[in-house]
Amino acid sequence: MEFSYEVKDSYAEVRADGRLNMVSAPKLREFVTDVIAGGSNRIVVNLENTAFMDSSGLGALIGCLKAARQAGGDLRIAAVQPQVNMVLKLTSMDKVLTAYSTAEEAFSND
């Protein structure tokens, strides 16, 4: 899995491309923690190219959400693909991790 980020006007967009599994989940946590430490506390994780997520990946997203909130911000997810959406719904975590169609929409109303 490859990570990248871009600081936009009102948020930082993190892209996670590949499989978000037990191998890559700790790396996502570390990557987002570094982005937050760099001064961004409003994070959008763009999952457009995340074709797979397991419970480890879900746990990492929850950890990132908590880190963003502890820094006074928030974390939202965007462009969720069908398998990731299935995992979110089966675990009822779609109510906790707010999904938006695009990264631009995620913080557009606040």
Partner 1 sequence: MTEILASRSFRGPAAEDAIEAVHNDLDSLWLDVPFVNDMDQMTFTTAVIESASNIVQHAQPAGDRDVELGVETTVQPALLQARVSAYHAKPPFGPMEPATPGEDAESGRGLALIEALVTTVTFERQDGTNTWVLSRTSSQD
Q: Which is nearer to partner 1, 22 or 37 (CB)?
A: 22
Question: Which residues sit at the interface with partner 1, rule CB under 8 A?
Answer: 19, 21-23, 52, 54-56, 58-60, 62-63, 66, 82-83, 86-87, 90-93, 95-96
Q: Which is nearer to partner 1, 92 or 109 (CB)?
A: 92
Q: Which is nearer to partner 1, 21 or 33 (CB)?
A: 21
Q: Which is nearer to partner 1, 7 or 23 (CB)?
A: 23
The nearest distance, CB 104 to partner 1, in angstroms, is 27
The nearest distance, CB 95 to partner 1, in angstroms, is 8
Instruction: Judge whether 107 and 11 are in contact, CB under 8 Å.
Output: yes
